[in-house]
Amino acid sequence: MKINLLKRLAMLAALAIPGITPGVAMAANNVALSSDVFVERKIENADGQTAVMLEEPKTVIPGDNLVFVVKYKNVGSTPATDFSVTNPLPKAVAFNGTSDGTEIVSVDGGKNWGPLSALTYTRANGEVRPALMSDVTHIKWKFNRSLSVGSEGKLVFRGTVK
Amino acid sequence: MNYVGKACLTGCLQPVGAIVKRGAMTLAATLSVMTLGTVGMSAANAAGTIAGTDILNTAQASYDGPGGPVVIDSNTVTITVDELLDVTVASADPGDIAVDSGATQQVTTYQVTNTGNGNEAFTLTADTAKGGDDFDTSNAVIYLDTDDNGVFDPGVDTIYSPGSNDPVLAPDASVNVFILSDIPVSATDGQRAEVELSAVAITGSGTPGTSFAGQGDGGGDAVVGSTGADGEASSFFLIQAAQVALAKSATVTDQFGGNQPVPGATITYQLVATITGSGSLTNLNITDDIPTDTTYTAESITLEGANLTDSDADADAGSFDGSEIAVSLGTVPGGQTRTITFQVTID
C-alpha cells in the first residue's frame, strides 16, 4: 500500500513539476511554490485486492486521509538563502505525519516551534501534557542550505479530515 | 351444620390473575433524567466536520532574496466536506418492560441520534413482528417526544406520520421516540415480545461509501457512512402475571378437651393464600365472613403467626367490622404464601 502510494506521488510529482505555472510564482519572486491536496481512495481490484489511489478531490468526508504536497523551485537567477516552507493546517484537518520527518511543528498557532516530541500542549484547564499529532496547527520545513538556482523539491505530509 | 365458611377476596378489582401495574410509563419516568442529560450534551461534535465546510490549504515559503526577506504564498486548494449519512438508534428501556396480557398502548422508548455531519431527516419504522420472541404486539403507533422530556405524554407528544413530520436532526442531535402497542390477551406469564424501531436517512442509505451526488447538506455530495445510514434497536415486553389461590381449613376444639362441634366449642379457621407466577399482586386484600350461628372471638386474627388488632383505624393489616374479618396484604410477589387465622365460637 505504502509503496503504491509513494509510486503514485512520484508519478504525480513528475507530472506536476513542469506544471508549476508562472502565474503561481509572482514575477518579483524567484521561488515558485505550489500546493496540491490528494485524497486516498481505496479501490478494489478485480482480483479482490484493495489498492489505494490518490485523487484530487473536490469534496471529502470526515475520516478521509489526505496527502498534502507542497512543491518548490527556485526559478530565479540567484540562490534563495534561509529558505523555509510553512503550511498552516486547515482547521478541519488532523495532522498525520510527514514522509521525511524533517519538519518542525507548532501546536499553538505558530508561536512556538520544534519537533513534536519536544513540544507540550496546554489544555483549557491549564493542564500541560506532551503534544500529540492531533494538536498540530502548523508544519514548517527549515532548510539549512540555500536553495540554488534551478533546484526544486517537494514536501509531503498527511492529514485526516476531522 | 357446615361451619366451613366461604372465603373471598375483595378490594382488589381483579383478584385472580391480577397483574402488577408496573407499566412502561413508570420506567420511562425514571429514565427521563438520563435522557435529558444526553440530549443536553450536544456541544462536542462527534460527527466530524460539518457538511459544507470548506477546507482551504495554502503553503507559505520565506527566504532571503537579493532584495531582502521574501514571503510567498502558494495557490490555495479548496475542498468541501461532504455530508456523511449516519444514524444510531438505542433503546432507552433499561430492561424488559413488565406488562399484563391484554394491556393496551404500552410504551417502549428509543433514542435516534444523527451521527452524521449534516442536517438530515429520518424515516422511522416500528417492527413488532420480529422473529425469535414469544408473541407480537399489535396496533403499533410511533410518537415523537415533542416536549423532549423522555417520557410519553398523551396529548402532548405527537403521532409520527412518515413523509409529513419526519424528524430532522442536526449533527449529533437526538430525538426520543415512543412506540405504543397492544399486548395480546393470549400472551401468558413469562412470554417476551420484541419491538424494534428503525431509522433510515431520507437522503439515502445502503452500503457505506455509497454516494448521492449533489444531495449533501451544504451543497456537496451525501455519502453513506459506516452505519449504512440505517439504525435500529429493540425494546422488550415481558408478561409478568401472578395469581392467588386461597385454601381454607378449620380446626374445632370443644370446651371438654375434645374436637366436637358443639355449642361453646372454638373453631380456628386458617386461610392460606398462595401466590404464583413471575409477577406480583398489588393491593391484595383477604376477607372472610363470620359464619352464621357463630360468634367471632375478639382480637383473634393472626397473620404469619403474629397477632393483628380488630381496629380498622390503626396501622396493622387486620380488622373486624362486625360481620367479616379483613387482612390487607399489600403487594405480594409470586412464589410466596400468607397464612391468616381467626377464631369463632359456636353459638
- CB B208 within 8 Å of CB B228: yes
Give me the pLDDT at residue A26, please. Answer: 43
The CA distance from A110 to A144, in Å, is: 20
Whether residues A86 and B61 touch (CB distance < 8 A) is answered with yes
How high is the ipTM of this complex? 0.79
How far is the alpha carbon of A60 from chain B, nearest alpha carbon, in Å?
A: 5
Task: Classify strands A59-60 and B68-81 as parallel, antiparallel or unpaired.
Answer: parallel
Q: Is A75 on the interface with B (CB under 8 A)?
A: no
DSSP string covering A70-132, please? Answer: EEEEE-SSS-BEEEEEEEEPPTTEEEEEESS---EEESSSSSS-B-GGG-EEE-TTS-EEE--
Chain B's closest residue to A36, CA to CA, is: B77
Query: pLDDT 10s digit of each residue in chain B, 347 long?
Result: 444 334 444 333 333 333 333 333 333 333 333 323 233 333 346 678 999 999 999 999 999 877 888 999 999 999 999 999 999 999 999 899 999 999 999 999 999 999 999 999 999 999 999 999 999 999 999 999 999 999 999 999 999 999 999 999 999 999 999 999 999 999 999 999 999 999 999 999 999 999 999 999 988 899 999 999 999 999 999 999 888 999 999 999 998 988 998 999 999 999 999 999 888 888 999 999 999 999 999 999 999 999 999 998 888 899 999 999 999 999 999 999 999 999 999 99
Instruction: Give the C-alpha separation, B216 to B135, whole Å.
Output: 41
HEC per residue, B49-104: CCCCCEEEEEEEEEEEECCEEEEEEEEEEEEEECEEECEEEEECCCCCEEECCCCC
Predicted confidence at residue A99, as pLDDT, reads: 80
Q: Where are the alpha helices (DSSP H) in chain B?
A: 24-40
Of B148, B154, B162, the closest CA to residue B106 belongs to B154
C-alpha cell at B142: 410511533
The C-alpha atoms of residue A31 and residue A78 are separated, in whole angstroms, by 10
Residue range A29-56: mean pLDDT, rounded? 87
Alpha-carbon distance B210 to nearest alpha carbon in chain A (angstroms): 12
Cα B320 to Cα B288: distance, rounded to the nearest angstrom: 10
User: What's the start-to-end Cα distance of chain A, in Å?
Assistant: 23
| Residue numbers in B near A59 (CB within 8 A) | 79-82, 216, 220-221
- Residues 6+ positions from B102 with CB-CB distance below 8 Å: B183, B184, B185, B187
Test A88 with B221 for CB contact under 8 angstroms.
Answer: no
3-class SS of residue B26: helix
pLDDT for the residue A29 = 58
- What would the mean pLDDT of A61-74 be, rounded to a whole number? 94
* Mutate which: B53, B57, B82, vs A, most A CBs within 10 A: B57
Q: CB of B93 within 8 A of CB of B23?
A: no
Is beta strand B230-239 parallel, antiparallel or unpaired with respect to B222-224?
Answer: unpaired
pLDDT of residue B175: 97
Which residues of B sit within 8 Å Cβ distance of A?
47-49, 53, 55-66, 69-70, 72-77, 79-84, 117, 216, 220-221, 223, 225
Chain B interface test: which of A38, A61, A85, A156 (most B C-beta within 10 Å): A61
So what's the pLDDT on residue B241?
87
Q: What does chain B come to in residues?
A: 347
Amino acid found at B99 = V
Q: In this complex, which of B55, B59, B220 lies closest to A33 when CB atoms are compared? A: B59
Residue A94, pLDDT above cutoff 70:
yes
- Asked if residue B121 lies in contact with residue B168, where contact means CB atoms within 8 angstroms, the answer is yes
CB contact under 8 A, A33 and B61: yes
Is A139 at the interface with chain B, CB within 8 A? no
pTM of the model: 0.70
Instruction: Identify the bridge partners of residue A37 per DSSP, sorted by sequence position.
Output: A68
Please report, rounded to a whole number, the percentage of residues in chain A having pLDDT higher than 90. Answer: 58
CA distance A7 to chain B (A): 22
What pLDDT score was predicted for residue B136? 97
The confidence score (pLDDT) of residue A58 equals 87
Query: Which among B237, B340, B326, B234 is positioned nearest to B279, based on CA atoms?
Result: B237
Contact A35 B76 (CB under 8 A): yes
